[in-house]
A and B are shown apart, each in its own frame.
Chain A
Amino acid sequence: MDFLIDSFLSAMLLIGSLDPGLLEIIGVSLKVSCTSTLIASVIGVPGGFIIAFSEFPMKRLLITILNTLLALPTVVVGLFVYAFISRRGIFGVFDLLYTPKAMIIGQVILIIPIVATFTISAVSRIDDRYRKTALTVGANLFQTAWMLVREARFGIAAAIIAAFGRVIAEVGISMMLGGNVRGFTRTMTTAMALEYDKGQFVLSVALGIALLGVSFAVNLFFNYFQGKVRV
């Protein structure tokens, strides 16, 4: 019990005093997670949209593969990307390994299936009459697609939130590709793993509480945003 109280009070102290080390870690986490979520959304939302609305052979197979990739372990993505960008890998010359860029690459690969499958299911649920209506009032393909995205916006927002949740909470890719470098690639989760390894459980739990706080704040923000557009 003491342990939990200590951890909680430490967390409050850390957050309350705006500890620069903590802010730095939160900053790196947010920067990397937001960037990967943004990139994955830019690829995944239109991608899911195209898959949902076009007919092609192997479509079912592709969706099944995407669904399988939802369960992709972070270490598999980490290893895969590692093999490419390591000094001995084919992209070794770009010196990407152990940089935020490497983390972003891994995380984008991790969450594109999430964004795409959520988008597919969100836009497939949209009544076909929306498509017909947009077409009959003279919308071109792009305008029709935009209208459908608008109608599916809550589902798509859910896709993006889920993706963000996955990257801000994952540790495998951040550790393997980011390397947990203090002030550079150390995120909340890798910091927690480290403090645990060091036996500093109090700090570890405090970071965990801070992580929850940040995730909660981000979700509040999204909720507020969703409330705004609910017209």
Chain B
Amino acid sequence: MKTGLAWILTLLVAGLTVPGTTQGAEKVLKMSTTTSTENSGLLDVLLPEFTKETGIQIKVLAKGTGAAIRDGMDGNVDIIFVHAKEREEKFVSDGYGAYRLAVMHNDFVILGPAADPAGVKGTHDAAKALKKIAIRKARFVSRGDDSGTHTKEKALWKATGLPLKTETTEIVKQGKRQQVFSQHPEGLGQWYLSIGQGMGKTLTYAEEKQAYTVADRGTYLKYKFGRKQGLDLKILCQGDPELFNPYGIIPINPTRHPHVKFKWADRLAEWLVSPKAQGLIARYKIAGQQAFFPDAIANAR
């Protein structure tokens, strides 16, 4: 009885301390990425290959782009892998990131119910497609979570030329009042549904409500073909260059956060743009379709 208890205690203690001790024994890198990247399944192909080559294990924390970038700013992770180019560049120029490498891109698509009540099908211009949805007040689901996809969606709404509603919330940051803006078309809570959730949930939501939404192709393919009960939603608008979605990898700047494992992060970034990883990306298919397009120019910094 006593030995049994001791065993349990030992197991518990071991369980509790393992994450701490791995720093010494194993090489573990923390990476924040976006939910859409993780949902696409690409990381499940890439990362084991990297671990096999280098012995470096990667702990993936999937969040919205905003939270992922925030993790990087706070030094909570060693590297971030996101898709919001402008914000990424600012992240590097502000000194949080060491550098940014363009890894690949996929593209966004505008999805909707097969019935297509707003008549979006066949429209190539993404902004025009959204305008049609707004005019018909057809249900539209927005991620509303400050993610890369949401950022892209907001840019598209701006391009429609429709009057947008800006909401400001005042917060205090470092003792100073600051304003946080959020923009969205009229009709919030009626036809424009801002749900503040990840890509997967947004797709599920749009499917449930048979609503329009903007999604990245990778996640869409995975949800459409990669599951037993695939989505009924259809791609109604694609191919507009405005819908391209570049992914960048950014190791955290070790001068800002000395505790980060820059050496390994650097290794991962370099590996992702290596011909081998780029090949893996190009060959990665969801339901027989290419989901990501490699962007790397070797050794470009």
Closest residue on chain A to residue B210 by CB atoms: A87
Scan B171-205; emit 1 where CB is below 8 A from any A CB, else 0: 11111010010000000110001111110010001
B146 located at the interface, meaning its Cβ lies under 8 Å from any Cβ of chain A in the complex: yes
Q: Known: A179-B197, A183-B188, A199-B146. Contact between A6 and B173, CB under 8 A?
A: yes
Chain A residues whose C-beta falls within 8 Å of the C-beta of B175 in the assembled complex: 2, 5-6, 9
B240 located at the interface, meaning its Cβ lies under 8 Å from any Cβ of chain A in the complex: no
Beta-carbon contact of A197 and B208 below 8 Å: no
Beta-carbon contact of B170 and A17 below 8 Å: yes
Beta-carbon contact of B180 and A182 below 8 Å: no
Beta-carbon contact of B172 and A202 below 8 Å: yes
Beta-carbon contact of A182 and B195 below 8 Å: yes
By secondary structure, the B interface counts as mixed
Complexed CA–CA distance, A79 and B205 (Å): 14
Scan A68-101; emit 1 where CB is below 8 A from any B CB, else 0: 0000000000000000001110000001011000
Beta-carbon contact of A97 and B172 below 8 Å: no
Instruction: Count A interface residues, CB 8 Å.
Output: 36
Instruction: Count B interface residues, CB 8 Å.
Output: 36
Complexed CA–CA distance, A36 and B208 (Å): 24
Given contact pairs A6-B173, A87-B207, enumerate 11 new A-B contacts (beta carbons under 8 Å).
A6-B172, A10-B170, A180-B197, A181-B193, A183-B194, A194-B144, A197-B145, A198-B67, A198-B70, A200-B66, A203-B180
6 closest Cβ contacts across the A-B interface? Answer: A199-B70, A183-B189, A194-B196, A182-B194, A9-B172, A10-B171
| Chain B residues with a Cβ under 8 A of chain A | 63-64, 66-71, 144-146, 167, 169-175, 177, 180, 188-189, 193-198, 201, 205, 207-210, 229
27 inter-chain pairs at a CB distance below 8 angstroms, sorted by A residue, are A2-B174, A2-B175, A5-B172, A6-B171, A13-B177, A19-B170, A87-B210, A97-B208, A97-B209, A98-B205, A175-B197, A179-B193, A179-B195, A179-B201, A180-B195, A182-B188, A182-B189, A182-B195, A194-B196, A197-B64, A197-B66, A198-B67, A198-B70, A198-B145, A198-B196, A199-B67, A200-B66
